[in-house]
Amino acid sequence: MKCLFCKIRNRKNLVKCQFCDYFLASSQEMGKTLAYLENGFGRINEELDDIERKVNQVVGLVFRRHRYTVEGLLDSSQMNRIKSLAGKIKDDITRWDTAGKLPYRLKVFYNENAESVQNRMRMINQTIQDRNPTLWEKVGGFFRQLYRIVVELLPMIFQKLLFGQRPKALGKAA
């Protein structure tokens, strides 16, 4: 039997590794838990890689714009999948820890990977929010603001001019 951590073969069939004092009897169960954690964090990292690729994708030759909007990226199904996977792994780790079945080394492995994923999520969110809009997106943003002004504010101004009354929205404030 091989020790899971120091990778040295135990030729004397001992219960405890003679080099790192790890109990080899639970090595097979710990190997399954480690594989589960590696698989879970691997899937999370694949999703994060995919989101990173999507952040700066631009489409169009003349009217260039980002393929994915900021809101679309932040509220995407991939972000929800990442949060769901991370939450499931955290729940499993918590349950194993309260049952006393989580070795210290696996807890350290989980904490390191969870912190790494959390840092990557922060960096990706910051990159998404700080990306520079294309020229076409700036023009479109101007027209969206102009449309909002015309649709929301102009009727109140006309109502005041035509009827000499305060608009309903402003009447309560005075």
Per-residue pLDDT of the chain (174 residues; tens, 9 = 90+): 455 555 455 555 544 555 555 544 456 677 788 889 999 999 999 999 998 888 877 777 766 666 777 788 888 888 899 999 999 999 999 998 888 778 888 899 999 999 999 999 999 889 888 887 766 667 777 788 888 877 777 777 777 776 765 555 555 554
Is 87 in the same domain as 114? yes
Distance CA 165, CA 153 (A): 15
Is 50 in the same domain as 123? yes
Is 107 in the same domain as 60? yes
Domain with 170, as residue range(s), is 145-174
Residue 123 lies in a domain: yes
Residue 138 lies in a domain: no
Is 69 in the same domain as 96? yes
The values of phi and psi at residue 2, to 5°, are: -100, 140
What's the domain count of the chain? 2
Is 168 in the same domain as 124? no
